[in-house]
Amino acid sequence: MKVEYDIASDQIDGARDYQEDAFMVSLLGDTDQGEASALIIMADGMGGHAAGNVASNMVVATFNKAFQSEFNGRDVPASLTSALNRANQQIHDSISETPALRGMGCTMVSAYLQDNNLYWVSVGDSHLYLIRERELVKQNADHSYGAYIDMMKEQGMEIEEQPGMSRNMLMSAMTGEEISSIDCPNTAVKLKPGDRLIIASDGLDTLRAGAIIQYSSWSSTARECVYALLKAVEEANKINQDNTTIIVVDIKERAEIEMAADTSSKESLSKMAPAEPAERPKREAREPRSYSGLLKAIIILLLIGGGYYLWDQGKLDAVISSIPDDAKLDDVISSVKGQAGELIEQAESRINSALPDRKSSTQAEPATPKPVTAQPREPVKPAVKQAQAAPEKTYVDKPDPFTDPLQIGGRGPIMIKIPGGSFRMGNATGLLSADETPRHAVTVPALAMSVYEITFADYDKFARATGRELPDSAGLDRNKYPVNHVSWEDALAYTKWLSKQTGKKYRLPSEAEWEYAARAGTRTSYWWGNAKGTGKAHCFDCGSVLSTSTAAQVGSYGANPFGLYDTAGNLYEWVHDCYHRNYVGAPDDGSVWDGGDCSVRIVRGGAFQSPASSMRVDNRETFPSDKGQYNVGFRVVREL
């Protein structure tokens, strides 16, 4: 049985003035045996030195280069330890060249996944947790003074804590000197489908084990878990809260159809930089290595201050794609500085305005996490006969909504015409998720799309006519709330029934059509901008005044420029396409992409109990196509 990994990551600054954590997540592709592999590196700069962030970034880049260039596919622990020592030596060399850096250092944990085998190497007090069946088990050693005292007590040796020594004082760290203790087991931990790994800096210590387990159990995806934990850390409002980085890996059984059909899965994709191909020639016959992966990672770090502007203007694609695979480091850095210097200055004010404020408080951590329980407000969805007055006009010559009559009586869902056009689909860099790349141009013909997510009442007409069981609305008004617990297969059947009833061609949107309509001519993360804002949509951390324990009534928030409601938040929405690991070979005409893994189907748009990041217009998630979900609904397309 082979597995695959769903990996998500993010970080917060806490009460620090700058970010001292650095991390890199590389999906290395399949090995010669067809096994998935991934490398995860996270370093936490020591806060007692101003160059802690320099040390952490240096360690991550050096470790990645050393491991990927020297790993022979056999002795994983030896390769991990060697890469760690190479990274520590880089700190030593840098301090020798620049004495002002003396005293800088970091902790580090790196995990290498190969199929269901977990290997790691760690130094310091960062965490590698395994959650299995609601049990949280720390895998790596804790090299802090407090952990040492606790360990000795467990062994029956009472050691009195020394006055003036903090329990979180490090007993082992990477400072360029000899490392006193390295944790790198010789045997792998065997993982199972359903397992969840959490790799985190010590900022996660704000939460107790029970809270971590609870937030994890509430999160159906790795991405939801990352943002739920980070939100909980922020809401704890701990004094002097440290930087916190969290990386979550969900272990899933790989579908055989994907293994056979999706050859693009063997391509190396990284959230920070492309990794080496899985098939490696013998060392003595190897051609001079290409360091394009490392170079691009360094370039992205150089552009971190101006990346927001570059992405917004569509210029980051060109900068990254212009880097030759065999380029020399000095030449690349010089070239990129020349291209980006002026843009970084222009971006400074935009970045400051886009970043959320970090608040400090003296409030203690809540005893147990609990969901929001605010009550929903009055509905705003108009009746069908009021359709022409529904969404406000947000662009010139926007057509009026319309409905088609049904043969059984009544009307179909409220539709609106979407003009045809071209857009760039996906994410430029893959920093957030590798399956959103490569960004590519797509031209979508004109179509009509439902103004709202399909409601219970809309779906009930089909269910009664075809003898299907009515979905449970949990007491919500069926005329005003979007239908959920409807599988992709049920949604597809609804569109076929709607086509027969109206004599028009109804169907589920393709993934490209959905993203085009949701973007509505914009190029930002959300149709209203790059910041999630407050009260813009219905999601877990969107600042909604409505209860996030359930979906909101359709149309409770503003429409996008095409006149569509709830493309961000409320419910994920089924699209027609099967899942592909990336956009290599994707059609450019807006059509459905056949092939891939059809045991799961794509959903878009985020949901009421998901973080704002899930609402990004280019974000992709998957669910089994034959099962309905509490947080998944759909909207429909009508061909013109």
Question: Which uninterrupted H or E stretch holds 331?
Answer: helix 329-354
Per-residue model confidence (pLDDT) at position 309: 42
CATH of domain 3-254: 3.60.40.10
Q: Enumerate residues 6+ apart whose C-beta is below 8 A from 378.
A: none
Say what the pTM is: 0.48
Asked if pLDDT for residue 183 goes beyond 70, the answer is yes
How many whole angstroms separate alpha carbon 374 and alpha carbon 359? Answer: 23
For 371, counting Cβ atoms within 10 Å of its Cβ (0-12 exposed, 13-18 middle, 19+ buried), the class is: exposed
* DSSP 8-state secondary structure symbol assigned to residue 559: -
> For residue range 428-456, what is the model confidence (pLDDT) as tens digits?
765 567 788 889 999 999 999 999 999 99
Q: Residue 130: pLDDT above 80?
A: yes
Residue 59 has pLDDT above 60, yes or no: yes
Residues 183/80, Cβ–Cβ less than 8 Å: no
**Interval 535-541 mean pLDDT:** 90
**Can you tell me the mean pLDDT for 221-225?**
92
Handedness of CA 45, 26, 80, 9 (dihedral sign): positive
pLDDT of 40 strictly over 90: yes
What are 480-509's pLDDT values in tens digits? 999 999 999 999 999 999 999 999 999 999
Q: Which amino acid is at 539?
A: C
Question: Is the pLDDT reported for residue 373 higher than 70?
Answer: no
Single out the residue of 412, 401, 385 nearest to residue 503, CA to CA. Answer: 412
User: Quick one: pLDDT band at residue 145, thresholds 50, 70, 90?
Assistant: low
Q: What is the pLDDT of residues 271-295, one digit of tens each?
A: 333 333 333 333 333 333 444 444 4
Mean pLDDT confidence for 8-29: 82
Where do the structural domains in the chain lie, given as residue ranges?
3-254, 289-359, 384-638
**Stretch 566-594: mean pLDDT, rounded?**
94
The pLDDT value recorded for residue 323 is 47
Length of the chain: 640
**Which residue did the predictor score with more confidence, 149 or 253?**
253
Q: Over range 325-335, report the average pLDDT.
A: 45
H or E element, residue 119: strand 117-123
pLDDT at position 484 is 95
* Residue 117 pLDDT greater than 70, yes or no: yes
Higher local confidence (pLDDT), 270 or 480: 480
Alpha helices for 16-144 (secondary structure H): 52-70, 76-97
Q: How far is CA 258 from the centre of its chain?
A: 21
Residue 50 reports pLDDT greater than 90: no
Confidence of residue 152 (pLDDT cuts 50, 70, 90): low
Q: Which residues of 525-554 are buried (b: 16+ CB within 10 A; e: fewer)?
A: bbbbebebeeebbbbbbbebebbbebbbbb
| Span 409-421, pLDDT tens digits | 999 999 999 999 9
Could you tell me which residue, 577 or 258, shows the higher pLDDT? Answer: 577
- Which pLDDT score is estimated for 430? 59
What pLDDT was estimated at residue 508?
Answer: 98
In this structure, are residues 639 and 447 in contact, taking their beta carbons and an 8 Å threshold?
Answer: yes
Comparing CA positions, the residue from 487, 419, 452 lying closest to residue 630 is: 487
Q: Which residues contact 450 (CB under 8 A, 6 or more apart)?
A: 413, 414, 415, 416, 635, 636, 637
pLDDT at 383 over 50: no
Residue 314 pLDDT > 60: no
Most confident of 131-140, 561-570, 595-604: 561-570
64-68, 207-211, 348-352, 364-368: lowest mean pLDDT where?
A: 364-368
Spatial CB neighbours of 286, under 8 Å, sequence gap ≥ 6: 280
Percent of the chain exceeding pLDDT 70 equals 71
**CATH code of the region 384-638:** 3.90.1580.10
Band (pLDDT 50/70/90 cuts) for residue 399 is confident
Structure tokens at 391: 């969404």
pLDDT value for 606: 92
Mean pLDDT of the chain: 78
Band (151; pLDDT cuts 50, 70, 90)? low
Q: Does 222 score more than 60 pLDDT?
A: yes
- Identical fold, 3-254 and 384-638: no
pLDDT value at position 48?
Answer: 55
Whole-number pLDDT of residue 19: 79
Residue 311 has pLDDT above 50, yes or no: no
Alpha-carbon span 582 to 438, nearest angstrom = 7
Q: What b-and-e string marks burial along 240-272, b requiring 16 or more CB atoms within 10 Å of the CB? A: ebbbbbbbbbbbbebbeebbebbebbbbbbbbb
Please state, in angstroms and rounded to a whole number, the distance separating the CA atoms of residues 390 and 388.
Answer: 6
